[in-house]
Amino acid sequence: MALHVIVGKGPVGLTTAEELVARGHRVRVLSRSGGSSTGVVEHRRVDAADAEALTEATRGASALYNAVNPAYHRWAGDWPPVAAALLTAAERTGAVLVTMSNLYGYGRPSGPMTPTTPLAATDVKGRVRARMWAEALAAHEAGRVRVTEARAADFVGPQVPAQQSHLMRQLPALRAGRRAWVVGDPDARRSWAYLPDVAATLATLGTDDRALGRAWHVPNTAPRSQRQALSDLAEGLGLPPVPVSGIPWPVLRAVGVAVPMMREVVAIRHQWDQDFVTEATETTATFGLAATPWDEVVRATVAGAPVTA
């Protein structure tokens, strides 16, 4: 029974902790606020940017998971010291560094994204994520540390709070029968990552040496547009579908003058005005991981999501 250390206790960190415990591992979760330890999960208060504290908390662990989630508009300032501290802790302890990442580094796609699609982002957040991976991979190739990375599409599932999911934040509109206002083209095809599938992928990457030295995509089912996905969720709730419209980009730009979050959304318009689809066949072929069927995702999401989500 190995020790696995997770940095971050948001939905990814806690769901991954549950997955690792289910696989028979010991788990230690590190976060700024700490938490109440149980018989299976230990919580410690640690600043993710403090390399010394991270190193001490990671000693004896076989894997170190980066499930940190800085404020959306503060990636450029918050991510570099955290990424550097995690690399340092992994190097000093010998733990495999497993990073939870996303699709920002690819920039504007020209087709389905694979783990070998060039990291060609030109926006600030995409460049931050691409640089993090480049630095981690360079350290791996130099023999200083062992790294791997999971990249996932937008999250869905009852574990995900509304502010972290473009689908989950629409549940109140579905329940009230109101028009759903979404970012971008409501009919652009998109991939969605069910959070338990994300956790299963992370736990597998942290326990299989075949994962090392490269990135992997979290498996997901066939893409669904926001209109289709919201219609599916409405049906799962036993309700008729609601009208779905895209928020005009000039409106989002105007709101962004006062709301930093909206400025960041406008900066990644390329993720929303065309198809944004991932492909994860290598993950399935190598590790036997498959996406949870979409109908099961819908059932679990509507059954478990808070009414006030």
What pLDDT is stored for residue 308 in this prediction?
Answer: 58
Report yes or no: 47 and 53 within 8 Å, Cβ to Cβ.
yes
CA distances from 205 to 98, 135, 305 (A): 7, 19, 28
Rounded to an integer, the average pLDDT of 259-268 is 90
pLDDT in tens, 62-89: 999 999 999 989 999 999 999 999 999 9
What are the residues facing 231 on neighbouring strands?
Answer: none
Interval 165-196: pLDDT, tens: 889 999 999 999 999 999 999 999 999 999 99
Res. 220: pLDDT tops 70: yes
- Condensed to tens digits (0 to 9), the pLDDT of residues 140-156 reads 999 999 999 999 999 99
pLDDT reading at 159 higher than 90 = yes
Q: How far apart are CA 252 and CA 255, in angstroms?
A: 5
Q: Are 148 and 211 in contact (CB under 8 A)?
A: yes
H/E element holding 63?
strand 63-66
Spatial CB neighbours of 225, under 8 Å, sequence gap ≥ 6: 185, 186, 187, 188, 189, 190
- The full length of the chain comes to 309
Cα atoms found within 13 Å of the Cα of residue 63, Cβ hemisphere only: 29
- Give the pLDDT confidence score for residue 309 in this predicted structure: 45
- Residues 97-113: pLDDT tens digits? 999 999 999 999 999 99
Distance CA 267, CA 195 (A): 25
Query: What's the mean per-residue pLDDT of the chain?
Result: 95
Q: What is the mean pLDDT of residues 253-268?
A: 91
Distance CA 211, CA 126 (A): 23
* In contact, 160 and 195? CB cutoff 8 Å: yes
Could you read off the pLDDT of 115-124 as tens digits, one per residue?
Answer: 999 999 999 9
Domains in the chain: ranges and CATH: 3-156+193-221+279-292 (3.40.50.720)
